[in-house]
A and B are shown apart, each in its own frame.
Chain A
């Protein structure tokens, strides 16, 4: 394994691990706040139980998110010092703002988790709201940094260095809007349906539990609208990619030749005529650039990007359908808890959002290759001169595998297996 490949793999493992906790950290506070608000309004103890139990789970996941995020901040330099040296002055701004968002998040999470008896009920709820807001803000700031890597703006590039740096213009990079929108919705969809799905599974075994009913409803309240909106935001993202990163789009769609009226390819073989032109440019006859427009050594890994994209879209379609089904049942005031087929579909949707998030990031990151800053700096030129990078890659991978198992066991004991449910 070459050092660049080891570094890329280490980055991929660290990010893929962190994103799970980040997604939960963004959305879970919203669920807790809803549950607590319902407890304060109705005094139904089920909601208090729910808020407290979710808070315990979130405490565990948040800690793992915080430490794995710390690893990432260092890894940006440990693995890609040349990238950070060039990009730091330009995209340091969102990272610095993110730092402050982390502070508010960590401070008010402390108050929320350990302050049940120490602050007034209103202050406690407000702390939860602040955690939820700063969670979204921190997600948005990092994703802006990533959007800049996809569509770099705010500088003049000549002779291997940047001049006329404008960090504000860099934050207003074109990919920022579609990516932050799509990512924030993804967090709510994945976590909301994840929670609803777990409780749907448990309700099928124990249909009278008021606890699981309450949890399912709150999960759907957050997850279903986001899941329904997600394909729309994905379409917006795809159209930005089509304009700004045509090679990535070609890889996503496995389109080898530039052509008008391009078809959509699903999996390895199925083709839908005109669909790609229609989706990417909202015009069935639009010309879509193919991979043949750039030299072979500037192609990303087409099969992986294409596969990841198809996986994301398939999962997203399924989740949106489940979301619509939930909406339809809610409109007709039907009881979710007694529809076994709906509960089954929801239980299947539980892991889908997380898988779609991973697949979506594979599309974004693998699709940008061989560039780390699109069109400016190649990944291979950004890597550290430190040799033997396979060793830290192996160590970090083992560490995270172990951690994932332990987190699973602790959560299971803490949340699911506890008495009184």
Chain B
């Protein structure tokens, strides 16, 4: 179990999970920006933009780390995915470009809020579709049966992949709404995000249940992990209901982690089902050893820096700082 390739596959999964928890929530924030409504519509948008601005680029690097580690440690898996999912990945990249650049433009008064919000809605669906295609084992090496449609479209334009896409969007929106309950000082704004978090949390649960029931290609998730996910989901609902937002944040994150890891465990030992395993795709041992060393050394620098970033902008000090700003406008 604890072989070198497995450890590195685990590290790739950790960075992907971190991307979902942090980068995903930034996309979810864009969704709520789009859906801002009611009397406090402008304030909602302001809270969202302020919450995302200092951290989204750091959060985004998790995706880059996952990709770089994937092509270094599992180059064949990267090649298969890049060939078979060329089209949705390219579309997703366009979404990433539009989301990121439109976001800074709107932060600096250049407009672009609508582009930012729309791209935040579409990109997670495409990301989820790629994951869904990989999970269902339809991604193919090159041209299959000589047909363009089967090789490059049929693998990902399926009801299942689309369902995973929508599910991903729901998860991101849920995470964002839960995190956002901790951002505003204003109690009414907090209530706005609480309602949204409850609705999105419900959507996540309903979509997961329907998906597992309807689609035969859905990965068969380990019963223990389903139980853990359900427990996290129930605690998240309870704490949102009781307005215990810190607990809600931790449990919502745990719920999503269990979902991602449930998928990963279900397809183990395959990296790209139906036939590319972790071991088959792995780079030679030297490379894996060096990358592992680099990751360990890098982590020593990375985690304190990330903690510092979060403390400055998301911790108690940040809240105090913000109150201080109000005292001296």
Which residues of A are at the interface with B, using a C-beta cutoff of 8 A? 56, 59-60, 62-64, 66-71, 73-74, 76-78, 81-82, 84-90, 92-93, 95-100, 102-104, 106-111, 113-115, 117-119, 165-168, 384-388, 392, 395-396, 399, 403, 406-407, 409-410, 413-414
Contact = CB atoms under 8 A, between A and B. Distances in A.
Contact of B61 (A76, A99, A168): A99
B274 interface: no
A119 B283 contact: no
B58 A103 contact: yes
Given A103-B61, A103-B65, A414-B109, A84 B306 contact: no
Nearest to A413: B110
B41 interface: no
Max count, chain B CB within 10 A of own CB: residue among A71, A92, A111: A92
B61 A106 contact: yes
Given A85-B78, A92-B73, A399-B97, A384 B291 contact: no
B305 interface: yes
A63 B104 contact: yes
A118 B90 contact: no
27 contacts: A59-B107, A59-B108, A63-B101, A73-B67, A74-B89, A81-B78, A82-B79, A84-B71, A88-B78, A89-B284, A92-B68, A92-B71, A92-B75, A99-B61, A100-B294, A102-B64, A103-B302, A106-B60, A106-B61, A109-B57, A111-B309, A115-B312, A118-B321, A396-B90, A396-B94, A409-B110, A410-B105
A96 B78 contact: no
Contacts of A62: 57
B105 A103 contact: no
Contacts, number: 213
A402 B103 CA distance: 15
Given A64-B101, A78-B90, 6 more contacts: A63-B103, A78-B86, A89-B284, A99-B69, A111-B309, A165-B284
Interface residues of B, number: 69
B54 A113 contact: yes
A111 B55 CA distance: 9
Interface string B79-107: 11111001001100110111111011101
Contacts of B152: 386
A97 B72 CA distance: 11
A62 B58 CA distance: 12
A386 B152 CA distance: 7
B75 A74 contact: no
Contacts of A70: 60, 63-64, 93, 96-97
A106 B86 contact: no
B76 A385 contact: no
Contacts of A59: 104, 107-108
B308 interface: yes
Contacts of B143: 385
B209 interface: no
Contacts of B78: 77, 81, 84-85, 88
Nearest to A14: B93
Nearest to B95: A67
Contacts of B231: none
Given A110-B54, A118-B321, A410-B105, A96 B295 contact: yes
B19 to A, nearest CB: 11
B261 interface: no
B303 to A, nearest CB: 10
Contacts of B325: 117
A324 to B, nearest CB: 37
Contact of B100 (A63, A82, A109, A414): A63
Contacts of A82: 79
